[in-house]
């Protein structure tokens, strides 16, 4: 696998520790408006060919998430194929984040 995984609790610990990382949400705007992780950038999977070229640093640590982890895995695969080197897929997506870290984030 050309990218790693991270659990919701591992991501929370990194964020709490002030880790410098880019958090990308690859869901659709309607989903993002319903439930999101604070600080995440909305970059829908369907537009990845456009926005991937706008990311300035291919060595930057990037965590990608979606609803359950499937779309974000596809995004990680694509970004890896474009030369990005420090990618993590949030296992379980926003659903896991809501269940394991922040119950104030709505489930859907």
For 45, residues 6+ apart whose C-beta sits below 8 A from its C-beta are 26, 27, 66, 71, 72, 74, 75
* Residue 33 exposed, middle or buried by CB count within 10 Å (0-12, 13-18, 19+): exposed
Q: Which of 66, 73, 94, 101 is catalytic?
A: 66
d(CA 97, CA 65): 10
DSSP 12: H
Q: Is 76 a catalytic residue?
A: no
Catalytic positions: 66
């Amino acid at each position: 696998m050309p990218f790693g995984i991270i659990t919701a609790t591992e991501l929370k610990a990194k964020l709490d520790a002030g880790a410098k990382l880019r958090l990308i949400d690859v869901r659709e705007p309607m989903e993002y408006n319903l439930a999101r992780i604070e600080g995440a950038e909305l970059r829908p999977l369907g537009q990845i060919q456009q926005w991937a070229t706008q990311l300035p640093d291919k060595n930057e640590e990037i965590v990608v998430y979606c609803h359950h982890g499937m779309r974000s895995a596809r995004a990680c695969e694509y970004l890896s194929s474009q030369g990005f080197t420090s990618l993590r897929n949030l296992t379980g997506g926003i659903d896991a984040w809501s269940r394991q870290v922040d119950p104030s984030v709505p489930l859907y």
